[in-house]
Homo-oligomer: A and B are copies of this chain.
């Protein structure tokens, strides 16, 4: 399954594409950040974000798009721009004929690290291990986009949402795989 993860934002919108095999192993296909200038008009910024996401959709043809679910309670100045960018990402999925899904930050952290309150460095570290990257994916928006894509692939399997179904949760298994790989 090829998943495009989008960490929505106006100044920096993270986009990451991963291939996830039925055995849950994952491979990095593409990662990047779409930026728009803070002093541009809002409609122009959204068009820049849309153009960047469209390029990734056209170049990598994902099967599904996963975007971070934005909450009004995240009472930052930027929350409305973030919500608008997430709406753009969802619209583009529909227009490309692929399904979209949203996941909360807590769901993403839990899927990737096994711990819903994990910090950014833990998430980045796990993303790098799962994808066998030589360095942490940067900036954080890019890492978050990859984490979202991985979270979707794992949760989407219908197993990831319950850690009680096997001896290891997907995240624990990924940790174990990554640890094993790093000792080779």
Q: Are A46 and B84 in contact (CB under 8 A)?
A: no
The majority secondary structure among interface residues of chain A is: helix
Contacts of A88 in B (CB 8 A): 87-88, 91
Copies in the complex: 2
Residue in B47, B84, B99 whose beta carbon sits within 8 Å of that of A83 in the complex? B84
Known: A41-B100, A43-B99. A80 touches B70 (CB 8 A): yes
Cα of A157 to Cα of B65 in the assembled complex, Å = 42
Number of residues of chain A lying within 8 A (CB) of chain B: 30
Residue in B71, B75, B90, B99 whose beta carbon sits within 8 Å of that of A84 in the complex? B90
Which residues A53-95 have CB closer than 8 A to chain B? 65, 70-75, 79-80, 83-88, 90-91, 93-95
Let me know if A160 is at the binding interface, CB within 8 A.
no
Let me know if A136 is at the binding interface, CB within 8 A.
no
Let me know if A42 is at the binding interface, CB within 8 A.
yes
Q: Are B90 and A43 in contact (CB under 8 A)?
A: yes
Residue of B nearest to A83 (CB): B83
Cα of A47 to Cα of B93 in the assembled complex, Å = 9
Q: Other CB < 8 Å A-B pairs besides A72-B74, A84-B86, 19 of them?
A: A43-B65, A43-B90, A43-B91, A43-B93, A43-B94, A43-B99, A46-B90, A46-B91, A46-B94, A47-B91, A47-B94, A47-B95, A50-B91, A70-B80, A72-B72, A73-B75, A83-B83, A84-B84, A85-B87
Which residues in A have some Cβ–Cβ distance to B below 8 Å? Answer: 41-44, 46-47, 50, 65, 70-75, 79-80, 83-88, 90-91, 93-95, 99-100, 102
